[in-house]
Structure 1
């Protein structure tokens, strides 16, 4: 689908992008895409296009600490702050959405579901509601940032570190481009992730759930993805030849297609009216 189908907007005061299908489908809730750490809502742009072509309205919104919304460099923000931001977006949407979260966004999605605010959740390489230990291959990236993480100060990985732990299945020529698009992240948020201080009451999650991870993920190990899936009572899908940035890695369309199939099982397409002129 043409990228022109994705339009900039503002939702609950947060910069956002939205994509609407040429034809709406009765009874389908909107998709709310929740981005991970160090990025903003634009990381999900191709996914909005993909799902709009399949009859889904999609929205991705930024959070505090990026896209011109203070505090600068996300200083002092917590995961709870990001959950609050997401709840404001959901309230502005007016309909309870299907929440698709990547990485840190996956943890936010779990907390949103536990509050009864999601029709379903799709978790992509989700940060767990438990300790997130650094894998051996990632130590050289994390150790230089640890003083700032422990102090709760903003952090940003080096280009080399980003390529090593997050973009290890991306084409090499894409890595510097993606690194240049990163934004500083709250050290407090990362401290909460590392020490597992963000809990989820899984007994309160009753909506459909899908959990996908990458076999070569150097940030959220496959075992942690499987742990989260187990807590939700579903089987994790661990994708070979994929790592943490499966949003855009070669073959990402296959993953998005599996998500579309999962959603179609619960919300079959029933086109009813034109919502925009093609």
Structure 2
């Protein structure tokens, strides 16, 4: 009998990343037989340069709008895709999975959903430059090379961080950061995730040296699934920072993700997860 075609994998980037940051992942997944796509957020330019030249197009987009943007992409597909997201893309991946718009999801260093109450000091420091000015809610905020290395790429050398900055970094809307920060004070927060519904399997990945979404924050996010009746697994790479999807060690994360998908998307499986 012919082998069934593998599903499409939809990659979702996070704040400050251009969708081209997923190009190496897309190639690795395509080599394993997956269809791949990595459409950007609303307002992203076709290139890093174009995105930097027009931050006004990126500004003013929030979590709900970005989620609906990807829901419309999914609606044009023949079947629900596997969704792989990093940072705020990881939060959006969980939202799409909870809505049963994805067949499975991998959330890498995901931004915290509504319900996570304790945020590490190092995480608060990384977003303070944005949140300290309320006018940033409707603006696009840009990292400098130094701030990018200090928070996003803190586990790699400055020279590698600077190279990644030139290759992938773009301005990001401030609105999602405000929405996540105020999530527990908003009964209708766009950072809400349906944790416990019947849906496809979820893999959450954290970086032990992450300063943007520290391990403690990812631990708390995963604990929100403790009553979920479906497959939920959590893997921490102890020596990795927030740049783990784009730096020199990206292939280790991609290969782990591919192996997990091979184990968990061949058929319907049930069961809870546990912290490592």
Between the aligned partners of 2:145 and 2:92, the Cα distance in structure 1 is 26
Residue aligning to 2:269: none
* TM-score, scaled relative to structure 1: 0.79
Secondary structure class of the residue paired with 1:203? coil
Residue aligning to 2:255: 257
Residues 113/140 of structure 1: CA separation in 2 closer, same or farther (3 Å cut) = closer
Q: CA offset at residue 152 of structure 1? A: 3.1
* TM-score, scaled relative to structure 2: 0.80
Work out whether 1:178 is the aligned partner of 2:164. Answer: yes
Q: What 5-or-longer segments of structure 1 have no aligned partner?
A: 1-23, 269-278
Once the two structures are overlaid, the 10-residue window that deviates more, 170-179 or 211-220, is 170-179
Between the aligned partners of 1:149 and 1:255, the Cα distance in structure 2 is 36
1:1-278 residue pairs with structure 2 within 5 A? 26-67=4-45, 72-130=56-114, 135-137=120-122, 141-145=126-130, 146-148=132-134, 151-180=137-166, 181-196=168-183, 197=189, 198-233=191-226, 234-267=232-265
Secondary structure class of the residue paired with 1:61? coil
Secondary structure class of the residue paired with 2:141? coil
Residues 133/165 of structure 1: CA separation in 2 closer, same or farther (3 Å cut) = farther
Between the aligned partners of 1:53 and 1:151, the Cα distance in structure 2 is 40
Q: CA offset at residue 178 of structure 1? A: 2.5
Q: CA offset at residue 33 of structure 1? A: 0.6
Between the aligned partners of 2:170 and 2:35, the Cα distance in structure 1 is 27
Higher relative strand content: 1
Between the aligned partners of 2:99 and 2:171, the Cα distance in structure 1 is 28
Q: CA RMSD in A?
A: 2.4
Between the aligned partners of 1:90 and 1:39, the Cα distance in structure 2 is 21
Residues 202/139 of structure 1: CA separation in 2 closer, same or farther (3 Å cut) = closer
Q: CA offset at residue 256 of structure 1? A: 1.3
Q: How many residues align?
A: 245
Q: CA offset at residue 54 of structure 1? A: 1.5
Between the aligned partners of 2:96 and 2:24, the Cα distance in structure 1 is 23
Q: CA offset at residue 138 of structure 1? A: 5.6
